Structure 1
Amino acid sequence: MSDSTLTSFWRATNTLHAVVYFAPDAKQRYEALGLKGYWMGYFASRSASLGTPPADLVTATFHGFAPSIVERAIPDAWGRVDRDALLAERAAVAADALRPGLEGHDVDAMTTRLAGIAAGLDVAGKPLAAAQRELDAPDDPVQAFWHHLTVVREFRGDCHIAVLIAAGLGGTAANALQVAVGKAPAEQPALRGWDEAAWAAGVDDLRRRGWVDDDGVATDAGRQARERIEDATDRACAAFMDREATAHAVSVSDAVRAAARSVVGSGVVAFPNPTGSARP
């Protein structure tokens, strides 16, 4: 798979996965199960693939969130909701958000390829991908599509966190760099739970590296560093895909990218957004 094909494939899978975070009725649907507020729904629904993890484990696997915002939701969430019901509702929320944009696309064919990719991933050191892969695929075709795609997306996310850590970038600095290059909104500190002091420390880290100027705007060096991080993430992903998984990714890349563009056209995902998704 060429570098450009790989980049566009990962970008598309990230966009398609992310609909679950922007579905307009997600908060209400999770609250109907017993959860309280958007963030409890987010942290519990995404981490439920791991079981009923404590706050420290959620913070560790998600990387970019302040511990305090996680602790307001976890572990309280596990006393409010049935984990299996939550996982089922999450898949349903995602599929309902995807359906309008997937009309006319061959969902079954893409799902077959995505399942083949997921099966051929080396998930050692990649906890969210491994946990998602252990879940049973739903019977509903669009939910099954999102399930296998989410394994792939979390796989890249796990690789990305490893690259960020190797670069010495903590949660605040990593988020601040996303804001500085225009891939995340200015509201990112509040959306990720960081207070002013913590956020300022992250920006200072970037400034010392020469990656942002005195106004917190990315320098050329900062933009190049961000591109190197993305390239390193893509290389890490490629290193842990077997040949069959890579072949499936090559075969399905154009279809997944076209599907992602249609889903973006349906209006469910806006840019820039807190996930740092780039347009497919």
Structure 2
Amino acid sequence: MISMALSSVSLRDLALVQAVAREGSFTGAARAMHISPSGLSHQVQKVEQALGVPLFERGGRRVVATVGGQRLLGFIEAVLGSAEHLEHAARAGDVAFGGELRLGVPSTLGPYLLPHFIEPFPQRFPGARLTISEGKPRGLLRRLHEGELDAVLAPPSVTATGLESAPLFFEPYQLLLNAAHPLAGRAAIALTELDAAEATLMAESHGNGVSDLGMAGAARPERIQDVSLESLATLVAMRGGYTLVPILAHERLGSIRNVVLAGVDAARPGRHIALYWRSATPWRDDLDRFGDLLRELARTIPGLDAATNA
């Protein structure tokens, strides 16, 4: 029988404890969980009092779990996982994903990939609703870990504990140049012919490898915070220079005034896209089928290279 003290602890309280362990900071956990730091601290103390064990060492620059806390955090994760299974089972029936797939997609991918699978999805998963959330990959993976999403499409990264992934496809980049650029009008351009100082790249979406592909010049490309691809193209149209854009977006971006598109000669920059899910998900079979669907579609979309295995 559960003690009276522990019966006052909610699943939300346990999720707050888990967030502190993940973020290593009360402030960071409070921000991630949309609660005030003082409110979060109070709830964590309530859990500690109910368990009769201090879960975290306080006072250092980074909050770390105590020896007892490390042991109990595994049980807390199991409780939260079981609660998620219970919720899914309650709405499951015979419908895939329990009736709804909450999918996170990067904002630089969603508008261009979604039209390709919005029709075949209900054909492959009758009765299941697809709900799309867009954002930056890092934020989407955090929401997946916290249970707000069921799966995420994102470039490969160092995944958090409790997440698994499977490769889907490789999407090459194309060059998008200001129409007045000296090399505009060519079908393909080598990056070694371009001055890195003229490039405008996005900090997260383009990653760090693009600047290592041999662009000419000693200066590094300008890196801006991630914006929409349309905004990035507009910047190039107004300021000059060039950028790299994923091939799925080329039709929409090519219609923007004062920019032109070109292929990349020799080097093949691009991004790999993978499907992420929680290890404890009850929808593993459904997610395997969803990954199969996306790889099948990738084989029919010009320019994409589907992964050969999951």
Give the TM-score normalised by structure 2. 0.27
Q: Which has the higher helix share?
A: 1
Q: Which structure would you say has the larger RCO, counting Cα contacts within 8 Å and 6 or more residues apart?
A: 1
Give the TM-score normalised by structure 1. 0.29
